[in-house]
Amino acid sequence: MRHWMSLITVSTLLLSACSTMAARPARDAATTLPDLAGEYDNHAERWSASAGGKQAPSTNAAPAIHHWLVHPGGDTRQLLWRVVLPDTTPVQEARWLLVSENNGFVPYRPLTAEAEAVFQNPAKNVRLDDKSWVALSSCTYKAAATRNGLAFAADPAACSTLLPGIGATAALLPLRFELIDQRLRVVTVADQARGVDAATISQRVRWFTGWDAINGGGAKAAAENNDWHLRRDLRLHSEGGRVALKFRDGAASGYSLELARLTYRESNTEVLRLSVIEDVSGKMISYVWGDPESRRIGLSLGWLQVGLEVENETKDSRAR
């Protein structure tokens, strides 16, 4: 996976079959920006590609990807977009500012440390200047025809003329993005190397907070053992989020929790699954599931108890 982006060449892009579809001028881009704001992850897509975690995804499968999209200063005409590939070494990341102009989005690339800092502290809207930001006007996203609702696309041939000057982060530049219910479908420059229809599909993240109580005797604790270690600072997200379970002194218990919204292909059933993972083996030793829109979920294994509740969904999660 680490080498898949290096295979991309300008000629690949010029031959790309990803094309901009007919625009729909009736809908103003600024009115759709609030729909996009949020955090997204494609854990469910990767899980499906691995046959439910039973095998490694194929080399041509979608890479693990995470998106943060936020309006700086609440300005719905601007959208900060961080794209991260968490499984690469070193972790690859790109940052873009989309500005609503001419019934579309013009992507801007940050040039200075001051511009980069906006992505970590977007308290105010961005004041654009030529020293801190460069407009990638040839890659302007225009409204694209779609059966599902919101979609925007750039002209890949026009974009390709700018890519050599952008550097390695150009691989993570979106060429097309579409919001389908709570799923963000994105085609990046890098995806073109995987095929004409290649894209990643990420689900909107929901954060959960809560508590756990783990018995000091671990999984083999005797029923009369009352040495309970309680924590009230659990926090993990719904798209494959993990947190290590610890004893009261901070020592590792050897187990972790995973929360994931998944779809079982055999029954086409979507669930929110809370799992207990053995750290050494990576094996799931127990789990519970609930409705994918559940606001509360928990489990009790005798030696371990967990309770989680959805966090305020308006809370900013950009830096996590």
Domain ranges of the chain: 4-204, 207-310
- Give the pTM: 0.84
All residues at 6 or more sequence positions from 6 whose CB lies less than 8 Å from its CB, including other chains: none
3-class DSSP assignment, residue 267: coil
Does the structure show a pLDDT above 70 at 263? Answer: yes
CA distances from residue 73 to 95, 103, 180 in whole angstroms, order as listed: 17, 21, 26
Q: State the pLDDT confidence band at 286, using cuts at 50, 70 and 90.
A: very high
pLDDT recorded at residue 22: 37
pLDDT recorded at residue 313: 57
Does the structure show a pLDDT above 90 at 145? Answer: no
- Of 250, 255, 241, the residue nearest 305 (C-alpha): 255
Average pLDDT over residues 148-160: 88
Residue 2, token pair as written in the block: 């680490």
Q: How many residues does the chain have?
A: 320
Does the structure show a pLDDT above 60 at 191? Answer: yes
Query: What is the 3 state secondary structure string of 103-160?
Result: CEEEEEEECCHHHHHCCCCCCCCCCCCCCCEEECHHHCEEECCCCCCEEEECCHHHHH
Does the structure show a pLDDT above 90 at 302? Answer: yes
Q: Which residues of 117-145 are buried (b: 16+ CB within 10 A; e: fewer)?
A: ebbeebeebbeeeeebbbbbebbbbbbbe
CA distances from residue 34 to 29, 114, 314, 317 in whole angstroms, order as listed: 10, 25, 12, 16
